[in-house]
Amino acid sequence: MTDAASPAAGPAASPTGTTSSKARLAVLLAVAAAAVAAYLRFGDALTLAAIAEQEAALREYQQANPWLVYGAAFLVYVAVTGLSLPGAAVLTLVFGWYFDFLRAVVLVSFASTTGASLAFLLSRYVFRDAVQSRFGGRLRAFNDALARDGALYLFTLRLVPAVPFFVINLVMGLTPLRVGTFWWVSQVGMLPGTAVYVYAGSAVPDLQVLSERGLGGIVSPQVLAAFVLLGVFPLLVRTIMRRFRPGS
């Protein structure tokens, strides 16, 4: 009787696992549908040319509804980074132009960290199998580096973009790293790069001219300095990190 009953014990515990799998699949499908819908709806709008065409209307709407604009901008940036959609770099430049330097730095800094943490949590609890199959080869290297350097490894990755940010968000979700640690390290580590990108955007006087003529139409010492800094910044940080961490 005992042996005959034993096989039946396994299926008895399965409804919970089945329910969990169904719930995970439902969330996965909902997130995928949201990402596809957002890209189809707003993908073309996240180009410099499309935003430049609405320059005057955007300025007028900001003056009439400042808090609504800040809230909408924050949510859009969180959605783009959290769902790993293309367009974050363009948004950073545009926000620098639209909100001015200081306000844009604060907005983009917190929105990018919120979006990165959302991607981190989605990877850990929803997309684990998909991320494992896609980036599993990098996971061991990430875990070894975290075991050796701790949160400093993530901090270094944030300062020196040797690995795309969306890959960092997704792969870190499969590591033992705590979400709180991921949040504050990302917040601090991404701040310098965010400031550089926002400054580049704030130095652009006219998006329409930039879109139509390229950089040649708006050449100025400030714009040139901003874009030179964009190129030099990762190399500068890498040099500094190597001095503090020989052999890294």
Question: Bigger pLDDT: 36 or 59?
Answer: 59
Three-class secondary structure of residue 185 per DSSP? helix
Classify each residue of 14-35 as buried b or exposed e, where b means 16 or more C-beta atoms within 10 Å of its C-beta.
eeeeeeeeeeeeeeeeebeeeb
> Residue 86 in contact with residue 46, Cβ under 8 Å?
yes
One-letter amino acid for residue 25 of the chain: L
Question: Which candidate, 182, 177, 186, 196, places its Cα nearest to that of 235?
Answer: 196
> Residue 120 in contact with residue 171, Cβ under 8 Å?
no
* Separation between Cα atoms, residue 34 and residue 41, nearest integer Å: 10
Question: Bigger pLDDT: 216 or 79?
Answer: 79
Q: What is the pTM of this model?
A: 0.71
Write out the two tokens for 26.
């439902």
Question: Distances in Å between the alpha carbon of 111 and those of 33, 42, 58, 107?
Answer: 22, 18, 20, 6
Structure confidence by residue, pLDDT tens digits, 62-82:
888 889 999 999 999 999 999
Candidate from 32-41, 101-110, 231-240 with smallest mean pLDDT: 32-41
Candidate from 25-29, 52-56, 164-168, 179-183 with smallest mean pLDDT: 25-29
- pLDDT exceeds cutoff 90 at 54: no
The pLDDT value recorded for residue 126 is: 86
The pLDDT value recorded for residue 105 is: 96
The pLDDT value recorded for residue 162 is: 73
The pLDDT value recorded for residue 35 is: 56
Span 175-188, mean pLDDT? 94
